[in-house]
Structure 1
Amino acid sequence: MPTRILPAVGDADAARSLTTLLSQLPDAEPVPPVTDSTQLVDTLARLAAESVDELPEVVIVHERIGPVPALELVREVALRFPAVGVILVTTDAGPGLFSAAMDAGARGLVTLPLGYEDLAHRVQAVAQWSVGVRRHLGHGGDVFTGVGGTVVTVSGAKGGVGTTLLAVQLALAAQASGRPTALVDMDLQAGDIASFLDVQFRRSVVDLAAITDISPRILDEAVFRHDTGVALLLAPGEGERGEEVTDRAARQIVGALRSRYEVVVVDCGAQLGGAGAAAVEMADRALLVTTPDVVAVRGAKRAVRMWDRLQIRKAEETTVVVNRHSRGTEIQPALVQKITGTPVATTVIPANFKELQSAVDAGRVHALDGKSTVRQAMWALAGELGLVRAPEGSQHRRSGRVGRGGDRVSAGFRRRRE
């Protein structure tokens, strides 16, 4: 069977050179190249939505692809489309880049200028690996063929601002609307999701930390299926074990969940370590929860500036959520927006702890009365963020971006499969 190869090359001359060389390889079936990272991911997502068999065996990523850097793109493709083998084309043949590429999930590295023998050998090896993975996954029935899910992180400006309650309610709202949802407790030393939902489960996020290839079966064994349908991945009962979850492990875990669930809500707590930072960096939406008081808003401002300095998240890409809001407070959302320099969610959460106290004390926040103003506001926020399933005829997409020529590339694969 011919090996389908999808090049991802931003430079037109480099694309022509690569395509010409690929067309000379035995049993190779190159298709028109994609020109940027967005088009590559969108194309693979459309093909995966039809069938895993529609995906190319090999994707070749050129080092000058954009706007997402090449290594980040390799990582995303490897996590979201585990049956696709990725080859990185680069001028740097050093051991440092080789190690980084392998860590990101690449199956091979080819140096520039391209040589026929080197490219042919690498493509053949990666194609054989891809076919073997598909054969293995196919027998297990574990192949995921949907578009990658939406990841939302919820972080606190400081402790006690309501981060966990909001994360839980966002996940419940998404699940109740018919979207398969996972809720992750990445507050590794002080996570309370298990207490909020009255859950006792021996497995936790730590059980996935040392696994480099998280299969759907392994993932299913680590999560706890709550009565509401939400899949829970809990923080460890022993807080000191949280150090086992590195930023690399967090990326792999969140990526694996994204490939299995339409919505992934991550509670990062108020103390952001390496794992939480990795989750925030990967997120489609990063929420920062504050209350309308001076101490919390100052904390939110510090967090936003720190994320920007560490290149975790830009201020304009962070959404601040105002919790425990009342009309009588001096600090209103417009002032929060001015101080933090971030967008502020239109939906604010009212201050009404009396509605919550009995449910929180009983560990049954999932049983909050539907008439609760706090619950209604949090579920409305889920709607504002696009986490609930849209009405028939207006289905929500995680990304409305369509790469240039994406339909042409997908059609090319379909013609070759017919």
Structure 2
Amino acid sequence: MPTRILPAVGDADAARSLTTLLSRLPDAEPVQPVTDSTQLVDTLAHLAAESVDELPEVVVVHERIGPVPALELIREVALRFPAVGVILVTSDAGPGLFSAAMDSGARGLVALPLGYEELASRVQAVAQWSTGVRRHLGHGGDASGGAGGRVVTVSGAKGGVGATLAAVQLALAAQASGHAAALVDMDLQSGDVASFLDVQFRRSVADLAAITDISPRVLADAVFRHDTGVALLLAPGEGERGEEVTDRAARHIVGALRSRYDVVVLDCGAQLGAASAAAVETADTALLLTTPDVVAVRAAKRTVRMWERLRIRKAQETTVVVNRLTRSAEIQPSLVQRITGTALAATAIPAAYKELQGAVDSGRIHDLDNRSTVKQALWSLAGELGLVKTPEGEPARGSGGRLRGDRGAVSFRRRGRTGG
């Protein structure tokens, strides 16, 4: 069977040279090169959604790839697609870079200028390794789940639409179903997760920003274990420290959390920064909350278009969730979907602030009554997203976006179409 090889090269001349040499390798099947890090991850994610067998056995990453640095990109590919072997092509083949590449998850390194024998030997070895991994995983396995958990970001179209409440309840639902869940406050200047859960903390996400190798011990020292079992990584108490969390640091932090927890929920707030942009870009699921009013829906559309312009997230890969919905509202979820061009969650969250006020004011949103229609809807949304597992271990997905027995979830569907 031919070895499928996906080159990732930012420079057109280097891409032609690499593809030509790869095509000369025995039993090699080079595919169309990708030109940047975003295109590479998007391509692999699309193939992985079909089956592990659709993924290329080998990805060759050129040192001139961008905008994400090559080692950062290799780390992300290794975490999200463990059945893919990555080779780094670089002009610096010294022991320092070799060690860094291996630590990032690369399976090999080839020096520039490229030589046929060295490239052929390395591709063959990595292809054999990839084949062995796939045999171990089994045909039709989940290509992105073998090396870590599910990452979900929750962003607000604007301030005050309920992103933090949604993020907290999604994490609580995942934890209550038996998953190991982590909740990260990535709203670095004005995060409210600590206030919602009434916790006092010393360490924050900023304390991990300067650490390049986040070991399990280091991560355990930074998280706060809540009474519910959810691991909390909170925004810094001094908002100015949020600037310490760069996009590179955010990728490291998310990768470390993904490798340790089954479900990682990130509250990204409504303001786009380098860290939240990196989180949204690398997430398995990106939620955008809006309320059914003109101002919020316009803000949601602006956010979606900005994410596309900055190549953070495509509209069709973003899922809009409508919060505080009433049946009498002039703006219904189907209209929001048409305006934003996104996917739409089948579960909408009803407007019932009186249910929440006591729990919010006391900072004990985790004690929200099970009869609350808002809680039922948000836990139903968790089931729709596959964050909740049944006693048999399968993700719980409610019919029409509702979990069985959840009377309060408000679900709207266009005829003949499922949301989300």
* TM-aligned CA deviation for residue 329 of structure 1: 1.1
Structure 2 CA distance for partners of 1:247 and 1:277, relative to 1, 3 Å: same
Q: 13, 22, 36: which is aligned to 1:14?
A: 22
Q: CA 1:353–1:154 in 2, change beyond 3 Å: closer, same or farther?
A: same
Tell me the C-alpha RMSD between the 2 structures: 3.8
Partner of 1:113: 114
Q: Which residue of 1 aligns with 2:243?
A: 243
SS of the residue corresponding to residue 9 of structure 1 reads strand
Q: Which residue of 1 aligns with 2:171?
A: 171
Quote the Cα distance in structure 2 between the aligned partners of 1:281 and 1:253.
14
| Compared CA separation, residues 289 and 13, structure 1 to 2 (3 A) | same
Structure 1 contact 41–77 (Cα < 8 Å) conserved: no
Distance 2:149 2:317 in 1: 18
Shift of 1:105: 6.4
Amino acid at match of 2:296: A
Structure 2: gaps spanning 5 or more residues:
7-18, 29-42, 63-67, 126-144, 398-420
Q: 1:15 to 1:39 in 2, by over 3 A?
A: farther
Q: Would you say the 8 A contact 1:80–1:256 is kept in 2?
A: no
Q: Partner letter of residue 25 of structure 2?
A: S
Any residues of structure 2 matched to 1:187-336 within 5 Å, and which? 187-336=187-336
In structure 2, distance between residues paired with 1:389 and 1:348: 20
Instruction: Write the distance in 1 (CA, Å) between the matches of 2:353 and 2:186.
Output: 25
TM-score (norm 1): 0.70
Letter of the 1:267 partner, please give it: D
Relative to structure 1, is the Cα distance of residues 163 and 37 closer, same or farther in structure 2, using a 3 angstrom cutoff? closer
Inter-partner Cα distance in structure 2 for 1:110 and 1:184 = 39
Output the CA distance in 2 between the equivalents of 1:260 and 1:188: 22
Aligned residues with identical type, % of pairs? 68
Deviations, residues 84-115 of structure 1 (Å, cap 9, x unaligned) = 9964136x7799xx89x969765845335336
Task: Label 1:73 to 1:274 Cα distance change in 2 as closer, same or farther (>3 A).
Answer: closer
Per-residue deviation, 1:344: 1.5
Q: 1:362, 1:214 → 2: CA distance?
A: 34
Change (3 A) 1:40 1:112: farther
Change (3 A) 1:109 1:238: farther
Secondary structure of 2:154 counterpart: strand
Match of 2:60 among 38, 48, 62: 62
CA distance in 1, matches of 2:286, 2:117: 45
Distance of aligned partners of 1:38 and 1:270 in 2 relative to their CA distance in 1, 3 Å threshold = closer
Instruction: Kindly indicate whether the alpha-carbon contact (under 8 Å) linking 1:8 and 1:62 is maintained by their aligned counterparts in 2.
Output: no
1:290-318 deviations in Å (ceiling 9; x for gaps): 00111100000000000000000000000
Q: CA deviation at 1:238?
A: 0.1
Deviation at 1:79, TM superposition (A): 4.8
Q: Is the 8 A contact 1:8 1:40 kept in 2?
A: no
Mapped contact 1:80–1:258 kept (Cα < 8 A) = no
Residue type at the aligned position of 2:112: T
On the 8 A contact 1:316/1:341 being kept in 2, the answer is yes
Structure 1 residues not aligned, in runs of 5+: 1-6, 21-35, 47-58, 125-144, 398-418
For the residues of structure 2 that align with 1:393 and 1:60, how far apart are their CA atoms? 32
User: Residues 25 and 120 of structure 2 are in contact (CA less than 8 Å); yes or no, is this contact kept in structure 1?
Assistant: no
Shift of 1:343: 1.5
* AA at the equivalent of 1:280: V
With over 3 angstroms needed to count, the CA separation of the structure-2 counterparts of 1:116 and 1:263, relative to structure 1, is: same
Residue 82 (structure 2) pairs with residue 74 (structure 1): no
- On the 8 A contact 2:285/2:318 being kept in 1, the answer is yes
Matched letter for residue 22 of structure 2: A
SS in 2 for 1:183: strand
Distance 1:346 1:105, change over 3 A: same
Moved over 6 A (4+): 38-42, 92-95, 117-121
Higher relative contact order (CA 8 A, sep 6+): 1
* Change over 3 Å in CA distance of 1:39–1:119 after alignment to 2: farther
- The 3 A distance-change label for structure 1 pair 314 and 86 is closer
Q: CA deviation at 1:288?
A: 0.4
CA deviation vs aligned residue, 1:170-211 (integer Å, no higher than 9, x gap): 000000000100000000000000000011110000010000
SS at match of 2:227: coil
1:11-31 CA deviation, whole Å, 9 max, x = no partner? 7983883899xxxxxxxxxxx
CA–CA distance in 1 between the matches of 2:119 and 2:197?
55
Q: 1:290 to 1:40 in 2, by over 3 A?
A: closer
Residue 118 of structure 1 deviates from its aligned partner by: 9.4
